[in-house]
Amino acid sequence: MQIFYTDLLCIGAGLAGERVAVEAAKAGFDATCLSIVPPRRSHSSAAQGGMQAALGNCVMGEGDSPDIHFEDTVKGSDWGCDQEVARIFADTAPIVMREVAHWGVPWNRVEHGPATYYKGGKPFEAAESKEKHGLIHARAFGGTAKWRTCYTADGTGRSVLNTLDSMCLRYNVNIHDRTQAEALIHDGENCIGAIVRCLRTGELMAYFATATLIATGGYGRIYKATTNAVICDGGGQIAALDTGIVPLGNMEAIQFHPTGTVPTDILVTEGCRGDGGTLLDVNEYRFMPDYEPEKAELASRDVVSRRMQEHMAKGHGVKSPYGDHLWLDIRHLGEKHITTKLREVYDICTSFLGVNPISDLIPVRPTQHYSMGGVRTNKDGAAYGLSGLFSAGEAACWDMHGFNRLGGNSLAETVVAGRYVGKKVVEFLKGHSVDFKQSALRDAHAKIEERIKRLSGSSGKESAIVLRDEMQDIMMDYVGIFRNGKDLQTAVDKLEELHARSMNIGLQGKAIGFNPEISLALRIPGMIKLAQCTAFGALQRTESRGAHTREDHPERNDKDWLNRTLAYWKDGDSLPTLKYEDASPYFEIPPGERGYGGGKIIHADIPAEKLHVPESNASDNAASAEDTK
């Protein structure tokens, strides 16, 4: 077996993985990125809308500051986020946008003079200032007080990923594409690398690393209707959970995006609504202002998705062979705007839906989109439970999003956390030497080899494809936007059955070398576990917070549930073990009303000392975000 040695092993080479790798490589360390696909095909590339950062250059962002960005983020999270982390994020974001500009991102820029913008479908004039001409521009996104989302047309993920990948070339980061990490190598205390399957030859390889980073994105593929790419199968979370030591945080916090298209589930960006697009029902009536008079289509995603679902349940949806949907209307933005700033949307509509958005309405409905939960880390990005293991981006529960993330905050998180965690990883690398224990490697390798042997022996009767389909249907039917105790119990029971059946998977076909069927067969048992963590966490959480909505517990219960779920999986168990920790070490902004979404709150008695930022922290964080101000 081939064995590689490296200082930093990044599992995943999207924006977060590459940003951390660049930080380590710049500091002189050997960094290696593993990726299922060539890095530029990572799902980061599909992010259209933009990155939130309080630069305050555009006229509609005047007076913006990290304080306001922080406040929007905390409200968006429905007070489920770690406020210390959200603060680090909001303070660092402007710097990171400038840094990637320095490296080559072609951000759209302010053009001074009068401009026509749209709000709620109606045009208005605003004058961009002369002093800000040529600085980074921003567009509106949901749940924000200011226009704050930096963008490159509607290909922000693509252009930032291109730039970061170019920096990986520049700093000689090793890229090993078509590889899939199957297990972490650890001795119960230290993580020292991973066992990896080559997706060219099917062979197993080992990577020894002083530090290992999980940056594999979300786990949306546990749902049938998801905007996520086919590689977003939660591989990194599975590897962490399988250690039995590392917990996953808030797995029940799943975001549904208001504008997945019908029937292909491909996303059209929030930028459509940010730029003035509206949502219409079967009568082409604009219904959102009735529910959310102030924010309308630009309330946070959880709220808009819920309102859409509610409106369709009242019989106002558009009937189609693929189920009910609503309309997104961007026609009034005009041909020039649609074919430049929303070009990707134009392409998607024309190529996949046969709809011309300049003259036609776009069929949309809420679709699984984002995983707020993931590998639980501390504010440095270090995973709980194993030294030397880090995580960043959507794969992690760093936890700046709590129970709902704002549009534009996750794409920004990839590079902001990437830079911040990258610096922490460098500190770790400087202070550590590691014993690459052969016994730990042998244990991890033996487990995976044994699983592949068992699969290839083909005594198993279950089909991985059937199990996948059943899991996805269960998640759609019982763990969707509106949840209740009865449905969730059904999901937990059915998934537990699937878990048992997943021990007995056999292969249908045979192939020498790489066999795609083995890839799926190796993944499915882990994906079912992630689905179980999600469903079980949702069942236990008897309140409604952010994207987690319980019909039988409609109130946000700060008294009992101002906390974060931690899911562990003990070897041999058929259900996760759930533990809980405080949502935030302190509350710079005390829990209160979001200002949209409605709903009752059961208030908590929070001790006075937790209602302000501890002195030591304030100075600490300012120092470690270094040059932030």
Partner 1 sequence: MSRRLHIEVFRYNPLDPESKPHMQSFYVNEYDSMTLFIALNIIRDQHDPTLQFDFCCRAGICGSCGMVINGRPGLACHTQTKDLPEHIVLHPLPVFKLIGDLSVDTGVWFRDAGTRIEAWVHNDHDSFDPTQEEARMENALANEIFELDRCVECGCCIAACGTARMRTDFLGAASIARVARFYLDPRDERNVENYYEVIGNDQGVFGCMGLLACEDVCPKHIPLQDQLGIMRRMLALHSVKGILPKALIEKLAHKGCCHENHKS
Q: Do residues 523 and 568 lie in contact, with contact meaning Cβ atoms separated by under 8 Å?
A: no
- The 3-state DSSP class for residue 326 equals strand
Q: Which one is catalytic: 301, 306, 307, 405?
A: 301
Binding to partner 1 (CB under 8 A): which residues in 492-511? 507-511
Which residue of 5, 65, 103, 542 would you call a contact of partner 1, by CB under 8 A? Answer: 103
Please list the alpha-helical segments (H only) found in 27-111. Answer: 66-76, 83-103
* 69-85 CB burial, b ≥16 within 10 A, e <16: bbbbbbbbbbbbbbbbb
Distance of CA 486 to the CA centre of its chain: 28
Q: Is 368 in the site for partner 1 (CB under 8 A)?
A: no
Name the nearest CA neighbour of 137 among 51, 16, 45: 51
Q: Output 420 or 568, the one with its CB closest to partner 1.
A: 420
- Our answer to whether residue 594 is catalytic in this structure is no
Q: Is 60 in the site for partner 1 (CB under 8 A)?
A: no
Binding to partner 1 (CB under 8 A): which residues in 346-365? 347-348, 351-354
What would the two tokens of residue 352 be?
Answer: 């996949």
Q: Is 43 in the site for partner 1 (CB under 8 A)?
A: yes
Q: How far apart, in Å, are the Cα atoms of 370 and each of 253, 256, 294, 367, 396?
A: 9, 7, 25, 9, 12
Binding to partner 1 (CB under 8 A): which residues in 159-218? 159, 162-163, 166-167, 169-170, 175, 177-178, 200-202
In the chain, count of helices (H) and strands (E)?
17, 24
For residue 526, give the H/E element and its range.
Answer: helix 516-540
Which residue of 145, 153, 476, 589 would you call a contact of partner 1, by CB under 8 A? Answer: 153
Which residue of 110, 326, 488, 495 would you call a contact of partner 1, by CB under 8 A? Answer: 110
Kindly write out the interface string for residues 379-408 of this chain, putting x where it contacts partner 1 by CB under 8 A and - elsewhere.
------------------------------
Binding to partner 1 (CB under 8 A): which residues in 448-477? 465
Which residue of 263, 485, 585, 599 would you call a contact of partner 1, by CB under 8 A? Answer: 263
Q: Is 37 in the site for partner 1 (CB under 8 A)?
A: yes
Q: Output 383 or 521, the one with its CB closest to partner 1.
A: 521
Question: Which range binds partner 1 by CB under 8 A, 227-235, 238-246, 310-318, 596-604?
Answer: 227-235
- The 3-state DSSP class for residue 290 equals helix
Handedness of CA 527, 532, 533, 535 (dihedral sign): positive
Question: Which range binds partner 1 by CB under 8 A, 264-272, 373-381, 421-429, 555-563?
Answer: 264-272
User: Residue count at the site for partner 1 (CB under 8 A)?
Assistant: 79
Name the nearest CA neighbour of 474 among 561, 402, 532: 532
Q: Do residues 271 and 341 lie in contact, with contact meaning Cβ atoms separated by under 8 Å?
A: yes
Kindly write out the interface string for residues 112-141 of this chain, putting x where it contacts partner 1 by CB under 8 A and - elsewhere.
---------------------xxxxx----
Which residue of 229, 239, 475, 538 would you call a contact of partner 1, by CB under 8 A? Answer: 229
Cα separation, 236 vs 216, in Å, equals 5
Q: Is 224 in the site for partner 1 (CB under 8 A)?
A: no
Binding to partner 1 (CB under 8 A): which residues in 515-554? 515-517, 520
* Residues annotated as catalytic (active site), given as ranges: 301
